[in-house]
Amino acid sequence: MGTTDHALPATAAAPEGSRASAAEPAPAPDPSPRAAPPTAAPHDGLRALATFGANVTMLTALLVYFGWKRAHTQATVLGVDESVFGLSTQDYLLRSVDALFVPIGIFAAAGLGWLWAHDAIRRRIAAGDHLPALRRAARLLGFAWVALPLVAVGLGLRWPQMGLFAFPLSFGLGALLTAYGLHLRRLVPGAGGAPGAAAWPIGLTKGLVAVVVTLSVFWAVTNFATVRGAALGRRLPGALGELTGVVVYSPDRLNLDAPGVVEESLAGGDAAYRFRYRGLRLLDHTDSGFFLISDGWTPDYGVVVTMDEDDPVRLEFVRDRRG
């Protein structure tokens, strides 16, 4: 009986934890430290905020300038100085938004098309397709800053109205295409780019291109605002009937010497208003007061009448479509 107890294997007396460790060796520790999840640096948010603020500031300045140029051109057609209207920054913004829908839409569509084309080009480069054609395109884009203005000059000679917008925009678009051509030469193998080149010319190129594009857009907006304001002034004689009619009541004679204005004396010695003036239209209303023109206004002879809100007169705004 005692000999059978000594015949037990040595492993039977070992603890169960020792058997588990002998059967499954412990995994080796990972020598590489576990990388911490990337966190955004504080200056990245500040940089994005500064970029957004700069874009909003530039867009606001563009809208204000466009509104001022349009108001200035329209006032010149009316024969008065733009400062007479006393327009505020909000007035300039409101006068610019409706006419800028088309240019902003064109710029946005062009930007989206550019992003789509760039994505397609990158896929071609990654697949190694059409590399010779891409090399030639990269070299040709380097001359866009000269070629596009020449094309715009030709368009202006054939269609002067189109040239007013195409010529200024050709400089900004040409600069962008040239900069993209330089970028494409670094992406396409064998296109002549130098991947290890110094980084400072890239930043300098971006800055110069931004300056050229900004000046180009302001130039084009100036021409567009001039054409818009002149068109509004030219169509004013035929659009007088669309303006709101104004009847002016006054306690004293105003002696309005404007073509088409009719003065009427009102009966009754105890009346608060003794004179009435018909034949006026509301041209504009700003913080400086009401600006009226008469039904007989023409580009050859026209009068702009101003009425301050503190003047002792009564204005009636008339909508008469009885035909």
Whether pLDDT at 270 is above 50 = yes
Closest among 282, 311, 276, 308 to 294, alpha carbons compared: 282
pLDDT in the model for residue 2? 44
- pLDDT of residue 199 exceeding 60, the answer is no
Give percent of the chain with pLDDT exceeding 70.
76
Q: Which of 265, 278, 272 has the alpha carbon at shortest distance from 305? A: 278
Q: Which residue has the higher pLDDT, 9 or 283?
A: 283
pLDDT at 250 over 50: yes
* Predicted confidence (pLDDT) at residue 15 exceeds the cutoff of 70: no
Ramachandran class of 27: left when φ > 0, alpha when ψ lies in -120 to 50, beta otherwise: beta
User: Per DSSP, what are the bridge partners of residue 292?
Assistant: 282, 305
- Whether the pLDDT of residue 198 is over 50: the answer is no
- Which residues are CB-contacts of 72 (< 8 A; sequence separation ≥ 6)? 82, 229
Cα of first residue to Cα of last residue in the chain, in angstroms, is 132
Residue with more model confidence, 30 or 184: 184
More confident residue, 140 or 129: 140
Which residues in 147-166 are b (16+ Cβ under 10 Å) and which e? Answer: bbbeebeeebeeeeeebbbb
Q: Is 50 exceeded by the pLDDT of residue 166?
A: yes
Domain boundaries, the chain: 46-234, 238-318
